[in-house]
Amino acid sequence: MKPAIILLAILVLGGAVVWLIDKLFYRRDAGDAAVAEEAEETEEPTSTGCVDEGCGLRPVCPTEQLLAGQCETKPTYYDDEELDLFAGRAEDGYTPEELEQWRDVLYTLQPSDLLGWGQSIKHRGLVMPSSIREEFLQLAAEYRSNQASGQ
């Protein structure tokens, strides 16, 4: 009986030491990160320019990018100023020649500029034609998969 009590005391004492080490060294870092993360979440965004209603292009929520300051709040032009003529146009209200203008811009972009260009289009009040949007989503998905595979 006496060896069982000694063994139990060693286990309890060892558990207390492990708990204390965990509490002092590991939990403090996690707690600091949680406090910083909580403070970041409570900050009010100054602009909603980056918010996108589930376009499916980003692995990170655009709202989180906005809170982290990773989004532009004003449009960036990608040598596509001619598209501003289409502001206020419905996505199905384009002629074949106008679709070609969109396509020319889309296919001359660097792959790394695709997502920024998509945001710029939204900031400028442009609605991408549905056929161009499909091509845009396909190119963005290809770029994202290439990034994920390390190419």
pTM over 0.85: no
Q: Which two tokens stand for residue 6?
A: 């000694």
CB 129 within 8 A of CB 91: yes
Please report, rounded to a whole number, the percentage of residues in the chain having pLDDT higher than 70. 68
In angstroms, the CA 75 to CA 125 distance is 10
Amino acid identity of residue 28, one-letter, is R
Looking at the predicted structure, is the pLDDT value of residue 135 above 80?
yes
**Sign of the CA dihedral 8, 10, 12, 14?**
negative
Mean of pLDDT over the chain:
75
CB 121 within 8 A of CB 102: no
Q: Which two tokens stand for residue 35?
A: 């406090």
Q: Which two tokens stand for residue 61?
A: 């929520």
How is the chain split into domains, by residue range? 1-42, 62-149
